[in-house]
């Protein structure tokens, strides 16, 4: 049990020892001389940006990566002074703030370069820059065949410290496309080298390509998913032992007894086949439980699988039912998940009481920010108000705590 107040009905445990273990596994297979950027975007994938970033800094990662400037500033305002890089293009008015806080920015167009130079001139400081190349993801960045003039200008500018150049692979597609993207990126790097432009940090690997293509590690890798104990797209890599660091837990609010034929939940979507006990658990849609991010099917096979899963759910087949774990035993969630509750059918022989601990499979990136996080080291909680809800500097855009 964690050292949380007895009136806490739900919480998230983040195992810092597991993150440390995963980091050691990653370093074991990194290519010699490669640096490591720990990606803590999206509130460190739901784990809590400030506590997790602080732990990763303590463990010696080289850089931290985030998507938006507000995420970088949250770390700065909470005392994290190490190098932070922002992946997304900035708004024109954001460049002065980034430069003032020594934050590395991405340049993905000639306009980006012009804006960052202007801000650097006005600040009287050099701006730290990584050039973003779009080799086939289709999001941000310079096309390889248009990039060289911008890179030459950045390299020659007295207002720019050109520290890196990178691209982003379309993870989840076939290896042949990743290789094509890498070759486009590498051809540009070769061309720059021939012109005498040598950029210190060349990087392209996120978690998937890091595991599958060691020769692509280059000068630095950008890792998030594997740091936090998950293999990309569910693919387990032999010889790499990752540990899960996230657990969503709650306490049973009530135990009810129902006769065979009783209905559970809204719209009476589940009918009990026999006399049963039902645990009422204070976790629901508002907490991120029972919520699915449903992407467009990757292909026809993927579409068929999604359809089969929906049909199985409609017919209440256990194979696709939501589950939870109570006292070490799996239990099925029955009926529709409520806004703030769900119902678990208790199997015969399992003793349960109000207050017993439940573990639920909430996706970390969908877990509500209102649920307190408890940070464990050596099995002991180091939860306090600062760990659970680290704040931002007062007055910054009205944002407080982990609200991003």
**What amino acid positions are annotated as catalytic residues?**
41, 266
Find out whether 239 and 264 touch, Cβ atoms under 8 Å.
no
The DSSP annotation for 252-296 comes to --EEEEE-TT-EESGGG-EE-SS-EEEEEES--GGGTTT----PP
- Compute the radius of gyration of the chain from its Cα atoms: 24
Q: Choose among 186, 168, 187, 175: nearest CA to 65.
A: 168
3-state secondary structure of 145: helix
Residues pairing with 264 in the sheet: 270
Per DSSP, helices labelled H in 9-109 are 16-29, 41-45, 49-58, 69-77, 95-100
Percentages helix, strand, coil for the chain, rounded to the nearest 5?
35, 25, 45
The DSSP annotation for 310-370 comes to HHHHHTT-GGGS-EEEETTEEEEEES---SS-EEEEEPTT----TT-EEEE---TTTS-TT
Find out whether 48 and 56 touch, Cβ atoms under 8 Å.
no
| Burial class of 236 by CB neighbour count within 10 A (0 to 12, 13 to 18, 19+) | exposed
CA distances from 219 to 62, 214, 343 (A): 12, 12, 50
Residues pairing with 324 in the sheet: 331
Question: Nearest 5 degrees, angle CA 203-CA 207-CA 213?
Answer: 70
Contacts 24+ apart (CB under 8 A), 148-157: 148/188, 148/191, 148/192, 148/195, 149/110, 150/107, 150/109, 150/110, 150/113, 151/192, 151/197, 151/199, 152/195, 152/197, 153/110, 153/113, 154/107, 154/113, 154/129, 155/197, 155/199, 157/113, 157/117
């Amino acid at each position: 049990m964690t050292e949380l107040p007895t009136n806490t009905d739900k919480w998230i445990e983040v195992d810092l020892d597991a993150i440390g273990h995963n980091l050691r596994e990653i370093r074991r297979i990194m290519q010699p001389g490669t640096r490591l950027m720990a990606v803590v975007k999206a509130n460190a994938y739901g784990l809590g940006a400030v506590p997790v970033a602080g732990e990763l800094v303590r463990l010696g990662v080289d850089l931290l990566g985030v998507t938006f400037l507000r995420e970088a500033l949250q770390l700065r305002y909470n005392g994290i002074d190490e190098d932070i890089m922002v992946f997304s293009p900035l708004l024109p008015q954001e460049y002065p703030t980034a430069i003032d806080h020594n934050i590395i920015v991405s340049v993905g167009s000639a306009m980006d370069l012009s804006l960052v130079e202007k801000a650097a001139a006005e600040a009287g400081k050099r701006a730290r820059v990584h050039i973003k190349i779009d080799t086939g993801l289709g999001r941000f960045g310079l096309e390889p065949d248009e990039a060289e003039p911008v890179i030459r200008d950045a390299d020659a500018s007295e207002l720019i410290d050109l520290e890196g150049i990178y691209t982003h692979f379309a993870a989840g597609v076939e290896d042949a496309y990743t290789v094509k993207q890498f070759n486009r990126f590498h051809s540009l790097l070769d061309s720059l080298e021939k012109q005498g432009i040598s950029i210190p940090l060349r990087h392209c690997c996120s978690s998937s390509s890091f595991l599958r293509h060691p020769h692509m590690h280059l000068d630095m890798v950008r890792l998030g998913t594997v740091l936090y104990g998950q293999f990309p797209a569910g693919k387990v890599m032999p010889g790499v032992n990752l540990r899960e660091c996230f657990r969503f837990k709650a306490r049973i609010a009530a135990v009810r007894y129902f006769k065979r034929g009783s209905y559970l939940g809204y719209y009476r979507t589940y009918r009990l086949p026999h006399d049963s006990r039902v645990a009422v658990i204070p976790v629901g849609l508002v907490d991120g439980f029972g919520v699915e991010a449903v992407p467009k099917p990757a292909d026809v096979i993927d579409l068929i699988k999604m359809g089969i899963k929906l049909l199985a759910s409609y017919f209440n087949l256990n194979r696709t039912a939501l589950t939870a774990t109570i006292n070490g035993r799996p239990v099925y969630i029955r009926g529709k998940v409520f806004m703030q509750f769900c119902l678990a059918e208790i199997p015969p022989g399992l003793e349960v009481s109000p207050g017993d601990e439940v573990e639920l499979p909430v996706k970390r990136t969908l877990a509500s920010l209102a649920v307190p996080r408890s940070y464990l080291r050596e099995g002991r909680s180091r939860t306090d108000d600062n760990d659970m809800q680290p704040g931002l500097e007062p007055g910054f855009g009205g944002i407080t705590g982990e609200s991003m």
